[in-house]
Amino acid sequence: MTTPGALIERHHAGGAAPAPVSGPPPAPAPHRPDPVRPGPTPPGRGPVVAQIALGLICAGYATGAALGWGSRQLALIMGDFGLSAAALAAAVSCLLYARVRESRFRPAWLLFGFSSAMAAAGNAVWGWYEVVLHQEVPSPSIADLFFLLFAPPAIVGLLVLAKKPVTRAGWVCLALDAWLIGGSLLTLSWSLALAHTAHFEGESVARAALSLAYPLLDIVLVSMVLALHFRRSNVNRSATNTAIAALALTVLCDALFTSPLLRENYTSGQLLDAGWFAGSLLLAYAPWGARRAPDAAFAARGPRTPSRPVAGSLAALTPYLAAAVCTLGILYNVVEGRRVDRVVVFTGCTVVLALVVRQGIMLLDNIALTHELAQKENHFRSLVQGSSDVIMIAAPSGILRYVSPAASGVYGRDAEELIGSELASLIHPEDLGGVVHEVRRFLAASPAEEPTTRIECRFRSGRGDWLNVESTVNRHQGGLIFNSRDVTERVRLQAQLQHNAEHDPLTDLPNRALFTRRVRQALGGRRASDPGTAVLFIDLDGFKAVNDRLGHQAGDELLIQAARRLQDSVRAGDTAARLGGDEFAALILGDGARDRSAREFQVHEIADRLRLTLSQPYRLEGGDDVRVAASIGVAFAEPGISAGDLLRNADLAMYRAKAGGKDRVELYAPQMQAEVVRRTELATRLRTALHDGEFALLHQPVVDLTTGRIMAVAAQARWRSAQGILFTPAEFLRAADAGERTAELGRWLLEEAVEQAAERARLGHRTPVSVRLSARGLLDRSLPLGSIEALLTRHGLPSGSLMIELAESDPRVSFDELEQRLVALRRLGVRIALDGFGSGYAAINALRRLPVDVLKLDRGLVEGVVESARLRKITSGLLRIARDLGLQSVADGVDVPEQVLALRAMGCTHGQGMAFAGPLDEYRLRRALVRDDYPLPGRDVEAVPVPVGNHPPIRSNTETPVPPT
C-alpha cells in the first residue's frame, strides 16, 4: 500500500506511484482440535502452505523489481497496476472476513478494507495516466483524493483494535501518548524535510497543502501503530499483530522513500515497491492465515495476564523518547546553522506540555492507586485479624512467616510463638506423610486447573493435645497460604455417628453390618487361607418367656449382661456382636494351624464354655434370678467361601442346635444346606398343594380301653405329593414355616372333617370326630365363632359330634380370650379336649383356667410308661387328676399291648395308636365302624392283638404309602 507522503514525493520526481497489492485468496481453515484429546492443536498444513505461497509471491515481486522487470513499460505496469491489484486483494480479504466473522472487531476490518480500496483506486488512476495515456498525472487530481482517504480509515481501524481505556484519565493519556509520538515525529520530519517542502515558491495553495498532508497523515499513522503496539487487545492477537506489521512495513517504505538519496533516483517498479507490495499482501493474509492456531492455544490456556517486561519498559519510556526526538529536531537546526523554525518550536513546546500533563495525570493516578491499595490492605488486614480462621503463610522451606492473631484462640498458642517455627513440627507424625504428599501433588498441578486444595490433619495445640484442623491451601510466591479452622468437634461428632451406625445401641456391641464387614476382612486379608477362622451364631433359649413374664426392661437388662459375658469371653482380636433380638455372634480368628480336627475341637470347646457362661443365672435389678440357655451354631471358613455364605452356615448350625433340643453346640455340616433346600422346595409346593387337591383326610380310631369299641375318630391331614408319598403335618408344616399356611390348613381340616362326619352320621355311624387346632388358630379372626356354628348347621352334624383338641398353649395368647371362645364353643355342643397334657406347666395352667371335657395324655408319657417306674407314677397321678375332675382321658401313641394293659390298670379310659389301628382312609374307616370292636389284651386270653384291616407294622412319620381310595 502506498502512503500519501511517498506519492507526493514521486509526483515531484516525475515517477509513478507504487501501491501494494492485497494478498492471495483466504487460506484454508486451520486444523481443528482433535475432539478426543482436548487442548490446543498445532496449526495444520493450510496456514503453512499459505505462508509459503505468500513468501514466494513477495520474493518473486522483489526479484522482478531488483532486475528492472526487463523493460520500462513492464516496470510501470507492475509499479502501478501491480500495487493496485495487491491493495485490491487486501480490500477484498478484509471486507470478506468482516462479513463472514461476527466479532466486536468487525468495524476495524471494514475500515482496513475501505482504506486498502482507496489505495487500490489511487494506484489504478495513477497507472491510467502513466501506462494508458502516457502522460503525467495532473496535480492535484482524483488520485490525490483517493490517497488522502487512505490514512483516516486505517487510523480509526487501529483505534478500534486498541484496548479501550476504562477511565477518563486513561483516554486522556491515550491522546497524549499519540500526540507525544506524532509531535516528536513531526518535529523531526519538519526539521529534516517538511520545512523545505512547505517553502516552495510559486506553488499553488493546493499543491502546498498536498505536500504537507501526505507526510502528516503518515506521521499520524505511525503514531497510531506505535501506540497500538503498547495497547493492543489480547483477543485475536495474531491477526492484530499481522495487521500492525503490514501497516508498519508500509510506513517504513514511505519513510525510506522520503530520503533525498532515494527520491532523486526513484522510478516506478524498483525494489522499494516490493515493500509496499508485501505490506498489502500481509494485510490480506492477516485475518485468515495467522489467526487460529495461536488463539486456540491461548483459549486453551485460559485468560491470563502475560508478563511483558520489555513492552512495559518501552511504554514507560515513550514520553521521554518523544521529548528526546523533539530535542534532536531542534539540535539539527542549530547544527545545520539554520534559524529555528517556529513550527519546530511550537511542536516541541506542545510535546513538552503534553509530557508534563501526562506525568501529572500519572502522578495523581499513582497517588489514587496507592491510597486505594492502602485501603484494601487495611481492609484485608482487618479481615485476617478479625477472622475466626487462622491464616498462616509458609515459605518454600516450610518456615511460617506469618500467623494471624486467631491462632491464640484456636490453637491456644500466640502468633509470635508460631512465627519462625517449622510447619512439619506442628503436625501429628502419623499425618505428616499424607500432608507432604498432598502438598507436593498440589504444587505439581497446574494453578489454572487446581487453584486450591484442602488438607485435614492433627495439629499440636498449646495445651499439649491434638486438634483436628482443616486447611484450605493456596499458592503464594513459591510458598503456601493456609486458611485453617478447628474441626475437632465435627470430627468427634462424625466418629460418634459412625460408631452409632456400626454398634448396637443397647449393648454397644458391633451390629450386623460391622460384624459382616469384619468377617469379610478376615476372609479377604492375610487370613484368607486360614481354615481356623470360625463364626459362632448364638441364640438365647427362653429369653422370650423372660421378656413376657418380667417385661421388656428386664429383658434389656438380661441382654446387656449377656453381651458383657460374651465380650469378656472372646479374645482381644476376636469380635463379639449382637445381630438383633436375642441373637448374638462371635468371630474367632484362626491361629494359622493346619490341623483342622484340632482346631475344630478347640473352637467347639470355646463355644461350649461360652454356652455354659451364658446359661449361668442372671441377677436382674429387681432381685430376680433368671436362667436362659444358649444354642450355638459354629461354621468354619473354607477356601473361597464368602462372608454371606459363612454367616448362613453358622445360622443353619444354630437352628439345628435349637431343633436338636436347645442348650447345645452344633457344628455346620453340608447336609444342613440340603435340608434347607428340601424345606424350601416343600414350602414352595405347599403354596399350591391345598388348592390343587393334593391333601387327603385320614381318621384314626379312639378306642374304649374297657370294651374295645370305637368311641371317636381323630381327623388327621396328609399331603399326597406328586411322587405318591404322604407327609404328616409335623413334616410339612415345619418345612413351610408359614403361619398363614397353618391357618388355611386348619380351616380346610375342620370343614372336611365336619362334612365327612355328617356323611357318616347319615349312614348311621354317629361317631364323634376330633380336630386338632392351636390356641392361636381358635382366636384367629379368619375363623370367627359364627363360622363353626354355620358349618355345623349347614352339614346337620348332631350336637356332641365335634370335639376340638386344643394344641399347645402359646404364652402370647390371652387365657381370658381363649376361655371366652371355648365357653362359646361348648354352648354349640362342641366338646373340648386338652392335647399334650403332662408336657409342662402350661398344660396344668390351662387345665386350671379353661373349660375342658377330655384330657389327652402326651405321647412322651405313653412311650415310656411300661419301662420307667417314674413315668408310671407321673402318668398315674395325671389320670387320677382327670378322674377326680370327672374328665375322660385319652392316651395318644398307644402302640403295643403292654401299654394298653398298663394304662387301663391306671384308670385311663381311651386309647389311640397303632395297637388298634393307624390312620385310615374313609373306606377302611367305615369297615372299622361296622365291626366296632377291637380285641383288647387281658379281656380274652386267647385273643391276639392283631390290628383291624391288616394294618402294616409301625412306620416312621416321614413316609406313609398312599392308601386306596
pLDDT tens for residues 308-335?
444 444 455 566 666 666 666 666 666 6
Euclidean distance between CA atoms 287 and 957, whole angstroms: 100
Asked if residue 206 has pLDDT above 50, the reply is no
Tens-digit pLDDT profile for residues 715-725: 998 887 766 66
Euclidean distance between CA atoms 641 and 637, whole angstroms: 7
The answer to whether the bond into 26 is cis (omega within 30° of 0) is: no
Strands (E), 519-563: 534-541
894 phi and psi angles, rounded to 5 deg: -80, 105
Which residue in this structure is represented by grid cell 508485501?
278
What is the model's pLDDT at position 53? 85
Cα three-residue angle 389-394-400, rounded to 5 degrees: 85
Question: Which secondary-structure segment (H or E) carries 742?
Answer: helix 739-762
Q: Say if residues 164 and 104 touch (Cβ distance below 8 Å).
A: no
Specify which of 145-149, 237-241, 281-285 reaches the highest per-range mean pLDDT.
Answer: 281-285
Estimate the crossing angle of helix 729-736 against helix 670-689, to 10 degrees.
100
Asked if residue 561 has pLDDT above 90, the reply is yes
C-alpha cell at 950: 391288616
Euclidean distance between CA atoms 505 and 729, whole angstroms: 41
Q: Say if residues 773 and 750 touch (Cβ distance below 8 Å).
A: yes
Residue 618, C-beta contacts closer than 8 angstroms, at least 6 positions apart:
557, 558, 561, 562, 625, 626, 627, 628
State the DSSP string of 65-93: HHTGGGSHHHHHHIIIIIHHHHHHHHHHH
Tens-digit pLDDT profile for residues 157-192: 777 776 666 667 766 776 776 666 666 655 655 655
Q: Say if residues 648 and 623 touch (Cβ distance below 8 Å).
A: no
Estimate the crossing angle of helix 342-386 against helix 309-335, to 10 degrees.
160
Asked if residue 514 has pLDDT above 90, the reply is yes
What is the model's pLDDT at position 702? 95
Residue 177, C-beta contacts closer than 8 angstroms, at least 6 positions apart:
227, 230, 318, 319, 358
508 phi and psi angles, rounded to 5 deg: 65, 20
What is the model's pLDDT at position 319? 63
Question: Quick one: CA torsion of 600, 604, 610, 612, rounded to 10 degrees?
Answer: -170
Asked if residue 733 has pLDDT above 70, the reply is no
| Percent of the chain with pLDDT strictly greater than 70 | 71
Can you tell me the mean pLDDT for 869-886? 89
| Percent of the chain with pLDDT strictly greater than 90 | 20
Question: Which secondary-structure segment (H or E) carries 720?
Answer: strand 710-720
> Which one has a higher pLDDT value, 162 or 904?
904
Tens-digit pLDDT profile for residues 616-669: 999 888 777 888 999 999 999 888 888 899 999 999 999 888 877 788 999 988
Can you tell me the mean pLDDT for 869-892? 90
Asked if residue 31 has pLDDT above 60, the reply is no
Euclidean distance between CA atoms 947 and 945, whole angstroms: 6
Can you tell me the mean pLDDT for 572-599? 85
Asked if residue 868 has pLDDT above 50, the reply is yes
107 band by pLDDT with thresholds 50, 70 and 90: confident
What is the model's pLDDT at position 756? 92
Specify which of 139-148, 384-393, 399-408 reaches the highest per-range mean pLDDT.
Answer: 399-408
512 band by pLDDT with thresholds 50, 70 and 90: very high
Burial 820-831 (b: 16+ CB within 10 A, else e): ebbeebeeeebb
Cα three-residue angle 582-584-585, rounded to 5 degrees: 165
What is the model's pLDDT at position 587? 93
Euclidean distance between CA atoms 6 and 218, whole angstroms: 9
What is the model's pLDDT at position 739? 56
Tens-digit pLDDT profile for residues 672-712: 877 777 777 777 777 777 777 778 889 999 999 999 999 99
Can you tell me the mean pLDDT for 922-951? 67
Can you tell me the mean pLDDT for 23-36? 36
What is the model's pLDDT at position 891? 92
Neighbours of 20 (CB within 10 A): 37
Which residue in this structure is represented by grid cell 484442623?
469
> Which one has a higher pLDDT value, 612 or 731?
612
What is the model's pLDDT at position 965? 29
725 phi and psi angles, rounded to 5 deg: -110, 140
Q: Say if residues 15 and 224 touch (Cβ distance below 8 Å).
A: no
Asked if residue 207 has pLDDT above 90, the reply is no
Strands (E), 615-667: 618-619, 625-626, 629-636, 665-667
Can you tell me the mean pLDDT for 527-541? 82
Tens-digit pLDDT profile for residues 244-288: 788 777 777 766 665 555 655 667 777 778 888 888 888 888 888
Can you tell me the mean pLDDT for 883-891? 91
Specify which of 64-68, 536-540, 678-682 reaches the highest per-range mean pLDDT.
Answer: 536-540
What is the model's pLDDT at position 575? 92
375 band by pLDDT with thresholds 50, 70 and 90: confident
Euclidean distance between CA atoms 519 and 646, whole angstroms: 9
Q: Say if residues 718 and 960 touch (Cβ distance below 8 Å).
A: yes
> For the chain, what is the radius of gyration of the CA atoms?
57
Euclidean distance between CA atoms 274 and 176, whole angstroms: 34
Burial level of 475, CB count in 10 A (0-12/13-18/19+)? Answer: middle
What is the model's pLDDT at position 757? 92
The residue among 758, 756, 750 whose CA lies nearest residue 780 is: 750
Asked if residue 216 has pLDDT above 60, the reply is no
Question: Which secondary-structure segment (H or E) carries 428?
Answer: none
Euclidean distance between CA atoms 2 and 21, whole angstroms: 10
Euclidean distance between CA atoms 74 and 82, whole angstroms: 10
Residue 232, beta-bridge partner list: 162
Residue 401, C-beta contacts closer than 8 angstroms, at least 6 positions apart:
393, 394, 395, 419, 479
Q: Say if residues 351 and 318 touch (Cβ distance below 8 Å).
A: no
C-alpha cell at 312: 512495559
Tens-digit pLDDT profile for residues 819-843: 888 888 888 889 999 887 766 555 6
199 band by pLDDT with thresholds 50, 70 and 90: very low
What is the model's pLDDT at position 157? 76
The residue among 19, 582, 623, 554 whose CA lies nearest residue 272 is: 19
Q: How many residues does the chain have?
A: 965
The residue among 680, 679, 626, 635 whose CA lies nearest residue 654 is: 635
Asked if residue 121 has pLDDT above 90, the reply is no
Residue 734, C-beta contacts closer than 8 angstroms, at least 6 positions apart:
679
Tens-digit pLDDT profile for residues 413-471: 888 888 988 888 889 999 999 999 999 899 888 888 888 999 999 988 888 889 999 99
At 475 the three-state DSSP class reads strand
The span from the first CA to the last CA of the chain, in angstroms, equals 122
Euclidean distance between CA atoms 52 and 39, whole angstroms: 27
Q: Is the pTM of this model over 0.85?
A: no
What is the model's pLDDT at position 200? 45
What is the model's pLDDT at position 584? 95
- Count helices and strands (H / E) in the chain: 36, 22
